[in-house]
């Protein structure tokens, strides 16, 4: 008899549900997609991959609106052993072209409105291009043969890649973080246990599915536990309030919670049946925590993760949730704090560099072996670039970042990319981009600019130019003009000083 395929993620997330008639997705129009129907759809998309010659290890770049078909494309990548490359739909054509050139995908799935521009930019004539809209149309859907049996599952190991997610530091081009079957599976299993998920839960899902929070954290936890998801296309206040009555758990970014608190309809009665609110992707302000608990009686559970590591820590479900911390280390993860100068491991309440190790930590950066080596210690810990401390009870508090990353509304914003755009504008001498605390977004992007004396350029001009070059969430929300940027003796701009001044 032929040997059965072993595929860690498929076997854990999808295979147990092939005959499951329970609802997996509850859509905005009331339509329900069962587990069995979802897996059937994923298998049909997997057949499309195979019919056009997309094979194990090939990259499948996806830049489409959130939909059941888009999520099923992730499942099809798991089944076929291909590597999902999800992109933010807000990326400009120039940004998209960079990711295509770097990832070298065998297949691109995009919105029909972008098909022509992407097609013209392709350097590899062998790259396949399919389209998908948010209302279940496009050439991908047209290519599905509903009468064909589900494709056979590709054998994969825990070390095989399943996703390539782009991230970046404060300098240089975005880097592709290589995530494996083992990374995603171990983390999903830890979170199901940590957050006490069961098949009785209904997860309110209003996050995008092009990054780890909405895709891997939320969806993998749902699949592993067998629960349902209220699958909203995006965060809409009315939709969230209407959907809360159907849910038991909500995952979101701090912006979700600040928006809810601004609405008088959001109260204890509306949330009395909920068992858990989870927040991540950006720090939640203490006043938001306190206002939320006062309004609803629920204390939001914060956790800490990164593109390269998935989740590392979480406030506990049953024990105390400490406001201002990101909780305890997950069961199969190691977290340590080291002195940034001496490398010495630090004890409780001492601030240093946060380093993590475990099966959740990524394989490395795509085509960047040297950069990968630089980001790991000799004993295998990943250097996160974040600064923090562990208290006497093991709760982690993040106090800042080595890298000047700004996290606004749950999205990573890299100052160097924006500074490059600003510095190229006529009338700008130099710029520094920082993040400052914001009630709504956690942090907002702010530009501090030195302009030439002869120019009449103003704040509105700079913001509008940025909007033509960058995704909207990257654009500065405010611009401050100064005579000179503060620098240290080595000539490095002192962004801490700027943050203090403009916060």
The residue extents of the domains of the chain are 8-156, 202-375, 406-502
Residues 283, 219, 332: CA angle, nearest 5 degrees: 70
Q: What is the pLDDT of residue 407?
A: 85
In sequence order, which ranges of 104-236 are alpha helices (DSSP H)?
Answer: 115-121, 139-143, 181-194, 220-225
Radius of gyration of the chain (CA): 23
Distance CA 485, CA 205 (A): 42
Condensed to tens digits (0 to 9), the pLDDT of residues 42-56 reads 999 999 999 999 999
Distance CA 174, CA 87 (A): 12
Fold matches, 8-156 and 202-375: yes
* CATH 3.30.420.40 for the 8-156 domain, yes or no: no
Sign of the CA dihedral running 214, 171, 90, 105: negative
Q: Do residues 48 and 73 lie in contact, with contact meaning Cβ atoms separated by under 8 Å?
A: no
Q: Do residues 200 and 193 lie in contact, with contact meaning Cβ atoms separated by under 8 Å?
A: no
Q: Do residues 17 and 42 lie in contact, with contact meaning Cβ atoms separated by under 8 Å?
A: no
HEC per residue, 334-376: EEEEECCCCCCECCCCCCEEEEEECCCCCCEECCCHHHHHHCE
Q: What is the pLDDT of residue 370?
A: 96
Backbone angles phi, psi at 112, to 5 degrees: -55, -30
* CATH 3.30.300.30 for the 406-502 domain, yes or no: yes
- Return all residues near 174 (Cβ < 8 A) that are at least 6 apart: 98, 99, 102, 166, 167, 168, 414
Q: What is the pLDDT of residue 35?
A: 98
Q: What is the pLDDT of residue 419?
A: 87
DSSP E strand boundaries for 139-295 = 161-167, 175-180, 202-205, 228-231, 249-252, 276-279
Distance CA 165, CA 369 (A): 16
Residues in the chain: 503
Whether the predicted model's global pTM rises above the 0.75 cut: yes
Burial (CB count within 10 angstroms: exposed 0-12, middle 13-18, buried 19+), residue 239: middle
Distance CA 132, CA 66 (A): 10
Q: Do residues 232 and 261 lie in contact, with contact meaning Cβ atoms separated by under 8 Å?
A: no
Q: Do residues 481 and 466 lie in contact, with contact meaning Cβ atoms separated by under 8 Å?
A: no
Distance, C-alpha 72 to centroid of its chain: 18
The CATH number of 202-375 is: 3.40.50.12780
- Return all residues near 492 (Cβ < 8 A) that are at least 6 apart: none
Distance CA 478, CA 498 (A): 13
Encode 17-30: b = buried (16+ Cβ within 10 Å), e = exposed.
beebeebbbbbeee
Crossing angle of helices 68-80/35-51, nearest 10°? 60
- Return all residues near 446 (Cβ < 8 A) that are at least 6 apart: 433, 434, 435, 436, 476, 477, 478, 479, 480, 502
Low-confidence ranges of the chain (pLDDT < 70): 1-4, 168-172, 400-403, 488-492
């Amino acid at each position: 008899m032929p040997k059965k395929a072993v595929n860690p993620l498929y076997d854990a997330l999808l295979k147990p549900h092939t005959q499951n008639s329970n609802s997996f997705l509850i859509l905005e129009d009331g339509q329900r997609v069962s587990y069995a129907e979802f897996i059937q759809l994923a298998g049909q998309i997997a057949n499309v991959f195979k019919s056009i010659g997309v094979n194990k290890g090939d990259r499948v770049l996806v830049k489409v609106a959130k939909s059941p078909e888009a999520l099923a494309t992730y499942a099809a990548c798991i089944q076929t052993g291909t590597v999902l490359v999800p992109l933010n739909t807000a990326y400009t054509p120039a940004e998209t072209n960079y990711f295509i050139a770097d990832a070298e995908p065998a297949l691109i799935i995009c919105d029909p409105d972008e098909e022509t521009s992407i097609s013209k930019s392709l350097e590899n004539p062998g790259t396949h291009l399919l389209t998908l809209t948010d209302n279940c149309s496009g050439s991908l859907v047209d290519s599905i043969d509903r009468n064909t049996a589900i494709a056979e599952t590709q054998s994969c190991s825990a070390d095989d890649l399943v996703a390539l997610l782009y991230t970046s530091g404060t300098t240089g081009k975005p880097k592709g973080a290589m995530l494996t079957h083992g990374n995603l599976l171990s983390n999903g299993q830890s979170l199901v246990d940590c957050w006490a998920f069961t098949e009785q839960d209904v997860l309110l899902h209003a996050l995008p599915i092009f990054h780890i929070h909405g895709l891997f954290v939320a969806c993998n936890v749902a699949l592993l536990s067998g629960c349902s998801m209220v699958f909203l296309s995006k965060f809409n206040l009315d939709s969230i309030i209407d959907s809360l009555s159907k849910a038991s758990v909500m995952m979101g970014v701090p912006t979700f919670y600040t928006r809810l608190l601004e609405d008088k309809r959001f109260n204890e009665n509306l949330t009395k049946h909920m068992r858990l609110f989870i927040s991540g992707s950006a720090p939640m302000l203490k006043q938001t925590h306190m206002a939320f608990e006062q309004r609803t009686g629920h204390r939001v559970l914060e956790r800490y993760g990164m593109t390269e590591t998935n989740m590392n820590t979480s406030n506990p479900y049953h024990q105390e949730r400490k406001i201002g911390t990101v909780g305890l280390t997950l069961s199969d993860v190691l977290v340590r704090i080291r002195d940034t100068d001496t490398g010495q491991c630090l004890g409780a309440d001492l601030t240093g560099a946060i380093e993590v190790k475990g099966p959740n930590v990524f394989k490395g950066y795509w085509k960047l072996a040297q950069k990968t080596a630089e980001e790991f210690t000799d004993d295998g810990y990943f250097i996160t670039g974040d600064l923090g401390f562990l208290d006497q009870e093991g709760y982690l508090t993040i106090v800042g970042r080595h890298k000047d990353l700004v996290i606004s509304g749950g999205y990573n914003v890299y100052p160097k990319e924006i500074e490059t755009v600003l510095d190229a504008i006529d009338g700008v001498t130099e710029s520094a981009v920082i993040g400052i605390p914001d009630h709504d977004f956690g942090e907002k992007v702010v530009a501090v600019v030195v302009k030439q004396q002869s120019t009449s350029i103003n704040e509105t001009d700079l913001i509008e130019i940025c909007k033509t070059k960058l995704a909207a969430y990257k654009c500065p929300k405010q611009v401050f003009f100064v005579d000179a940027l503060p620098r240290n003796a080595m000539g490095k701009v002192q962004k801490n000083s700027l943050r203090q001044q403009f916060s």
